[in-house]
Chain A
Amino acid sequence: MMTEARYLPLLALLLGAVALWLLLPGKKAWPRRLGGLLGVTALGLVFSLLPRAGQWAADSLFLLLAAVAIFSAAAAISFRNPVYCALWFGQTLLAVAGLLWFLGAQFLAFATVVVYVGAILVLFLFVLMLAQPEGRAACDRISFESQISSVAAIVIVGWLAFAVGGALSSGGGAGEGAPLDAEALADGVLTSEHVWRLGTELFTQHFLAIQLVGVLLLVALVGAAVIVSRQRMVKKSGER
């Protein structure tokens, strides 16, 4: 029984690697649907191995959000049409925002939706419409080294998950942050004055960092304008 429990995560990782390899664009002997099937199987296997928090409603909500996030992330990197990739990535972002909400980070959930879905993804689609040539280009049909990159990603994910799971289950990774009770959480992260507390934290302890982020945004804005306009200037001087 114990050996089965030890080999099940490895099996899930292997299934995930094969699924990713099949899903990535390129000429394969097997159909992509098989990859999707294997991926869903691996996801179900991983979810069956995750520890449960106790309340079935909260657990199933978390698992649903996580499943939507991971499924649409896999779809976002495996579709050939970049517009579909962007739309699936938008669904990933919404699911991650839901997970952040689940963790009690309400402001971050809203910021993710507003900044990522509202700004970055729309900018992405805009550039896509501007730059996408007609038809499906070769770069969307063939991918680089899909075997090696899936294996590399699976090794990293497995290492992270095993290290985290081992450290947390043995209690060694907890450090001073002992498992909390509901009262301590309601007084801390899950307080009803969430935005007020977060803003106080930001503008007292991280005041310099906030200013630096403002400077960074300004520099990025000017830099983007310079990159595009300098290229135009180079072209004009080349014509003459």
Chain B
Amino acid sequence: MTTLALMHDDNTANDPQRRAPLVIGPQTDETVTDSVCRVTEEVRTPRAWFVALVVSAALTAVFFGTIGYLITTGIGVLGNNRPVMWAFPIVNFVFWIGIGHAGTLISAILFLFRQQWRTAINRSAEAMTIFAVICALIFPGIHMGRIWVAYWMAPYPNQMALWPNFRSPLMWDVFAVNTYFLVSAMFWYLGMIPDLATLRDRATSRLRHSIYGLLALGWNGSARQWQVYERAYLLLAALATPLVVSVHSVVSTDFAVAQLPGWHTTIFPPYFVAGAIFSGFAMVVTLMVPARAYFGLKHLVTLRHLDNVNKIMLATSCIVAYSYAIELFIAWYSGHSHERFVHLNRAFGPYAWTYWLMVACNVLLPQLFWLKRCRTTPWIMFLIALAVNVGMWLERFVIIVVSLSRDYLPANWAMYYPTLIDVLMLLGSFGLFFTLFLLFCRYLPMVAIWEVKHVLPREEVNHGRTRA
């Protein structure tokens, strides 16, 4: 199949007179179904996939091992200490929640914007979203220390007359993130039902047939089902859209409602949302560049898709840069000595290297995406995306840890250093994330088959439209 594509594998040219094809080569319904389903139907375990899975699973074991150690020993195994009471766990939480923003943006907002190129990448981006939110949800949970009372966060009538404090943004977080998780999981699963039915219908073994059959919920592809289905999909997209904005806005209020310079500034909500989308798209590139090559999906996830993703990264990088700049300007303009200090401390204090590395990764390197060559060369975008992942993690470190380490009272200042457990937990969370993603690639339809069929070039001819 991929050999067909090799003839014209570049669909990135821009001709205002016609829209570029979103698949490469003469694709039909059958070839699309085949190339996606084949990945899950291959009987022999792909070797590189298996090696990657073993490594990730090992890291996952480290993750849960360190969590066990933390719960049995106490929060003192982490580097958190006065005045830096929020450190790696919250940095990791915000980092993973941010990653989890690309999926819903692609599936909901780009859907409402009629961006048809989303069809080839939405499924994997949504999966990534859910796995990232799982990683994110773990961190505040274990950061509480007494994990066995986590259920106190739920508002339920009880004999202790305890009720969550709804004036606390931490409580808003619980609801925002859980809602987000539920809605994205629903959206992901709903979108997958027709494709699960395809897998069911193609199954050759009884076991596959019953598992995919169970998951497909009796889908038979009747016109009536499609009619109801597409309406439900549109409604869910509309419901998910405000969530894309609200979740990270609420996360930003964890910091911005405080009075701490470096945390309290009004641009935080939109700035956090832009940063989240930025990091989420970086993760999409990090995952899809290897996956499309390894699983033979280059003709569906084309260079044009990656080109567009990289443009969104460039745009969000510029928004993030705008926020950095406005924060700096207003810190000076305010004439407020503490506001001014916190920015000087970021740039020239003991953690200056994190700040400058962050600026390099988030602002300077993505500017390479102005060049089409960088937007359409897989290895270049892969390296830039990796740098953005690093940069966006550092951004949260700079905001959270560096601001806390030097607040109003110099007598209260102290440096923060992570412990080995902190570092292992961060690595371990990547293990969990990659384990889940690798399992997804092998056992579920990685590309939305039914949606890609909608954007095959023949569709336009069928509608009798001429694109002048």
Q: Answer whether A and B are interacting partners.
A: no
- List residues of chain A with CB under 8 Å of any chain B CB: none
